[in-house]
Amino acid sequence: MIRLSKIDDIPGIITLWKEAFGDSDEDVRFFLDAHYKPENTVVNDCDGIITSVLFLLDGYMHIKGCDYPSYYIYAACTLKEYRGRGQMAKLLDFAKKLSQNRKKYFISLKPAEESLFDYYSRFGYKTVFHKKTAVFNCADFCTNANIISESDDFELSDIRNSFLNENDYFKWDQYSVDYAVKQNEYYGGYIFKSCKGYALYSVNEEVVTVKENTFTPDLLVDVINTIADRHGLNSVKAEFPVSFNTSDNIFEISKSGMILPLNDDADRLISLIDNAYLGLTLD
């Protein structure tokens, strides 16, 4: 039976999540403690076993300067022995109808792998989110890192919204932005922040990967060099909105997410979206 979750479902959700994503109990509870809302969690209950789940996170689609109430689907998964039976299709349909009843305009999501773009397209999802990825060799740049001083005295969501305001993008509230930062740090990531912007990043092997940047192009080189120097590395891979000017650096543009329109106005708005930016997807 497809239904909204209850508090009693949490043990079953944890078991399912651990099998699907390989996380620990602590990892799953870290998310649930921050984001679990029974009324925003859709499950399939097969004789008391939670066999499928998806979470609906609150947000807005910011399109041409206006905000439209929307959901973002997160951690959609099914127990291995129940896959291939159409359970996720039923959860997606339930989530669509629920969102329409709640007067949402869109549901957004980020497919976990390339093949899933085709899967979600069967249910009406359209690819509108794209990202630009650039690689920087810091040895090629001169820098004056002292021009940027780190600071905590500002709201990250305000900085993010100001930076992205000219773009079409999925807009998170302050709570969700703060959680994304905590989650990144929980998994060993870092943040470089000041009143001029922030860079959320991780360090793996010999590369710094900037998952989200809100510094303007004129400050970017200094920020990247500062981060790379801090970790004793030269190579930095960074993701940006497609509209971001990455100067002469080698970059590629790739699709990063999909959206489902939920009403006639949303259908009309889809045609206006131009290389929308997703970001902070908790992956």
SS3 call for 67: strand
In this structure, what token pair is assigned to residue 53? 């789940």
87 close to 44: Cβ distance less than 8 angstroms: yes
Pick the CATH number of 2-127+257-270 from 3.20.20.70, 3.40.605.10, 3.40.50.1820, 3.40.630.30: 3.40.630.30
Element (H, E) at 71: strand 66-78
SS3 call for 112: coil
Low-confidence ranges of the chain (pLDDT < 50): 145-146
259 close to 270: Cβ distance less than 8 angstroms: yes
Please determine whether the domains at 2-127+257-270 and 131-252 fall in the same fold group of CATH: yes
Q: What integer pLDDT is reported at residue 283 of this predicted model?
A: 79
Q: What integer pLDDT is reported at residue 221 of this predicted model?
A: 86
Does residue 232 come out as left (phi exceeding 0), alpha (psi in the -120 to 50 range) or beta?
A: left
Pick the CATH number of 131-252 from 3.40.50.970, 3.90.1150.10, 3.40.50.720, 3.40.630.30: 3.40.630.30
Domain boundaries, the chain: 2-127+257-270, 131-252
Q: CB atoms < 10 A from the CB of 233, how many?
A: 15
* Per-residue pLDDT tens digits for 141-160: 555 544 555 666 678 999 99
Q: What integer pLDDT is reported at residue 246 of this predicted model?
A: 76
In this structure, what token pair is assigned to residue 225? 């060099």
